[in-house]
Structure 1
Amino acid sequence: MPGNPVSTRIVLASRPSGKPVVGNFRLEDEPLRDIAEGEVLLQILYLSLDPYMRGRMDEAKSYAKPVEIGGVMEGGTVARVLHSRNAAFNPGDIVLSHSGWQSHAVAHGSDLRKLDPDQAPVKTALGILGMPGFTAYAGLRNIGKPKAGETVVVAAASGAVGSAVGQIARIFGARAIGIAGGREKCDYVRDQLGFDAAIDHRSSNFAAELKAACPDGIDVYFENVGGHVWSAVFPLLNDFARIPVCGLIAHYNEDRSAPGAQDQLPAVMRAILRKSLTIRGFIQREFSDQRADFYREATAWIADGRLKYKEDIIEGLDNAPDAFIGLLDGQNFGKLIVRVAA
């Protein structure tokens, strides 16, 4: 491979205690090795920023290995093939990869999915037609199982996952109630995405407004947040309600060494027993056999206008740490994507 490029990358410099700060990241350059048989050299075009990345910064045991100190921050990417030693890929091909926070990467062809820019904008492979969209689809279809006329409530409703959850719930015939932060996001969820109602969790009357929007209670709650949002939802859960637990962003930055709040477990367990609740955490890859169904159905829903999406584009890899920290505070509006290269 002539002239191995240098990859500009962002690595984990230190593990955060509570909320991440810019100092937990480090920008550095790293020469790339020659590609081996079956591999390709990639130029990263777009990087996805997602809340799950906060968990990868900690050392605690989880469903995936943490990023090592000095290791490249992980993340989904859309990339261009610059050089190939894999017969399935040619220079110029656009692919979905998991190359992380860097400008170039070497990847094995088996880890890539070729994208067709004529079928959909390639950025959608990181959002509505990617992991966030599939997370919404899989969690709602397999755990939420909304029936026509039921009430589905989703937290972080203007985000990449939540916005899809509410729209898919409507496609399934359910009422969709979104919870978001601020008037602009609530207006977007209700007026542009077609939710039946949108409630601002920053309102001083949040719990009462949510109750008023759910006069028949809540049958499905798609959990992305936790915190005071869960506290307002919890009393409204109907018998046999289903709660897909996708994320708990309100708790990701908690200092686990600090004294805990009042233990809510006994009350939750009593409700699980008394109301026959189903609370199930999930990781989207558990349902990977349904991806073909998702691509087919979601593409059709986008084409006929029933599934809409919004992207929040940040320019430049060096701005990724600030953007990610803002994501954890709800500062993004739509699917957060970093444009790494033109």
Structure 2
Amino acid sequence: MSQLEARRIVLASRPKGKPTTENFRTETVLLSSPSPGEVLVKALYLSVDPYMRGRMSESKSYVPPYEIGGVVGGGAVAEVVESNDDRLQPGDIVSGQFGWQTYAIVPAKHLRKIDPALAPITASLGLLGVTGLTAYFGLVDICKPQRNETVVVSGAAGAVGMTVGQIAKILGCRVVGVAGSDEKVRYLTEQLGFDEAINYKTAENMTRALKHACPNGIDVYFDNVGGDISDAAFRNLNTGARISVCGQIALYNLEQPDVGPRLLTPILIHRALVKGFIITDYADRFPEGVQQLAKWYRDGQLKFEETIAEGFDQTVEAFLGLFTGANLGKQIVRV
């Protein structure tokens, strides 16, 4: 094959506070044919996710930071254009972690073939991918919700949060979501069946708002946000509460360390379990999670919502929109 032009978005500089377009740069590179064991893929959809902000900093975390001048890594759905591996053929639809680029040469072993008959192919970036698995294991494995318990979800209109809430409803819980607009509040209660939802931007006092929404207290708190919302949730815990710490998007762009209420006292008083997790901890159980999520989806018990930005050039703007709550559900980019 003759050389092919591919566009890619790289990290130009490390953000200080909230990222801006100046922290990114678009480059064009030439790709040739894949080597043995590799495939050439054409990106169809790209994922943008809050965790990417953490990888843009140099501070130590659970994964290495992005390199300056390196492609911004993340999930993507692609079509195989040329294959040098028997496991994949041209025309196959695959998902992988090759990041923000229009074409890429990727080891076949790092890609997962997608069955378009199971669900829309974008679901592999959301409900049937890392997003759905994060919701499933973070709630079911860590929090072990029981029927009639009260489950509170922050960031409830995001891709993980809305899945957590729906799973909790399937399991017979009372579910309260926290989101950032009246439109999202209505979506959670009217479309997804949440028992109640709170707009944290208009609530005068989150502690009181949660107490009103959770008259029997909070048994399970799924934390996607951190900050003041989580402080309020901890003040309403029941004895034996379980808290799954999935994300802290309220804190990602802070330039100075956050100083908030000390939470060990309510943890002690209520004998609460607090556990942070990274979804790769459950890698060997992914097939179990996908099977259960797919069954609930086929049975009509799980819905998923997507916000789709059109065009590769909108990738950075779509990512920045995560920090203003511009998206409903999973934010992806159609290349």
What's the TM-score once normalised by structure 1's chain length?
0.95
Question: Whole-Å Cα distance in 2 between the matches of residues 335 and 224 of structure 1?
Answer: 14
The answer for the alignment partner of 1:25 in structure 2 is: 24
Question: Whole-Å Cα distance in 1 between the matches of residues 331 and 173 of structure 2?
Answer: 27
Cα shift readout 1:71-97 (whole Å, capped 9, x = no counterpart): 000110000000000001000000011
How far is the alpha carbon of 1:209 from its aligned partner?
A: 2.4
The reply to whether residue 332 of structure 1 matches residue 327 of structure 2 is: yes
Worse-matched range after superposition: 206-215 or 85-94? 206-215
The reply to whether residue 103 of structure 1 matches residue 102 of structure 2 is: yes
Question: Whole-Å Cα distance in 1 between the matches of residues 70 and 123 of structure 2?
Answer: 27
The answer for the alignment partner of 1:44 in structure 2 is: 43
How far is the alpha carbon of 1:261 from its aligned partner?
A: 5.4
Please tell me whether the aligned partners of residues 79 and 95 of structure 1 are also in contact (alpha carbons under 8 angstroms): yes
Partner amino acid, structure 1, of 2:126:
G
Q: Per the alignment, in what secondary structure is the counterpart of residue 333 of structure 2?
A: strand
Cα shift readout 1:297-342 (whole Å, capped 9, x = no counterpart): 11121122211111000011111111111112211112100001xx
Question: Whole-Å Cα distance in 1 between the matches of residues 294 and 203 of structure 2?
Answer: 39
1:275 to 267, 270, 294: 270
Give me the identity figure in percent: 49
Please tell me whether the aligned partners of residues 231 and 261 of structure 2 are also in contact (alpha carbons under 8 angstroms): no
The answer for the alignment partner of 1:243 in structure 2 is: 243
The reply to whether residue 91 of structure 1 matches residue 90 of structure 2 is: yes
The answer for the alignment partner of 1:224 in structure 2 is: 224
Cα shift readout 1:170-227 (whole Å, capped 9, x = no counterpart): 1111111110011100000011001111111112334222211100100110000011
Q: Per the alignment, in what secondary structure is the counterpart of residue 251 of structure 1?
A: coil
- Say if 1:168 and 1:206 are closer, same or farther in 2 by CA, change over 3 A: farther
Partner amino acid, structure 1, of 2:331:
L
The answer for the alignment partner of 1:186 in structure 2 is: 185
Please tell me whether the aligned partners of residues 199 and 206 of structure 1 are also in contact (alpha carbons under 8 angstroms): no
Partner amino acid, structure 2, of 1:328:
F
The reply to whether residue 128 of structure 1 matches residue 127 of structure 2 is: yes
Question: Whole-Å Cα distance in 2 between the matches of residues 74 and 185 of structure 1?
Answer: 29
Q: Per the alignment, in what secondary structure is the counterpart of residue 119 of structure 1?
A: coil
How far is the alpha carbon of 1:272 from its aligned partner?
A: 1.9
Please tell me whether the aligned partners of residues 39 and 107 of structure 2 are also in contact (alpha carbons under 8 angstroms): yes
Question: Whole-Å Cα distance in 1 between the matches of residues 304 and 159 of structure 2?
Answer: 8
- Say if 1:4 and 1:261 are closer, same or farther in 2 by CA, change over 3 A: closer
How far is the alpha carbon of 1:262 from its aligned partner?
A: 4.3
The answer for the alignment partner of 2:279 in structure 1 is: 284
Question: Whole-Å Cα distance in 2 between the matches of residues 194 and 74 of structure 1?
Answer: 34
How far is the alpha carbon of 1:293 from its aligned partner?
A: 1.8
Q: Per the alignment, in what secondary structure is the counterpart of residue 59 of structure 1?
A: coil
Q: Over aligned residues, Cα RMSD in angstroms? A: 1.1
Worse-matched range after superposition: 208-217 or 94-103? 208-217
Cα shift readout 1:254-300 (whole Å, capped 9, x = no counterpart): 003xxx554533xx112222211111110011112222222221112
The answer for the alignment partner of 1:205 in structure 2 is: 204
2:318 to 301, 304, 323: 323
Q: Per the alignment, in what secondary structure is the counterpart of residue 290 of structure 1?
A: helix
Please tell me whether the aligned partners of residues 200 and 206 of structure 1 are also in contact (alpha carbons under 8 angstroms): no
Question: Whole-Å Cα distance in 2 between the matches of residues 50 and 34 of structure 1?
Answer: 30
The answer for the alignment partner of 2:33 in structure 1 is: 34
Partner amino acid, structure 1, of 2:99:
G
Q: Per the alignment, in what secondary structure is the counterpart of residue 89 of structure 1?
A: coil
What's the TM-score once normalised by structure 2's chain length?
0.97
The answer for the alignment partner of 2:295 in structure 1 is: 300
The answer for the alignment partner of 2:146 in structure 1 is: 147
Question: Whole-Å Cα distance in 1 between the matches of residues 293 and 45 of structure 2?
Answer: 21
Q: Per the alignment, in what secondary structure is the counterpart of residue 113 of structure 2?
A: strand
Question: Whole-Å Cα distance in 2 between the matches of residues 229 and 318 of structure 1?
Answer: 34
Q: How many corresponding residue pairs?
A: 334
Worse-matched range after superposition: 198-207 or 317-326? 198-207
Question: Whole-Å Cα distance in 2 between the matches of residues 263 and 229 of structure 1?
Answer: 11
Q: Per the alignment, in what secondary structure is the counterpart of residue 161 of structure 1?
A: helix
- Say if 1:154 and 1:56 are closer, same or farther in 2 by CA, change over 3 A: same
Q: Structure 2 unaligned runs (5+)?
A: none
Question: Whole-Å Cα distance in 1 between the matches of residues 315 and 23 of structure 2?
Answer: 12
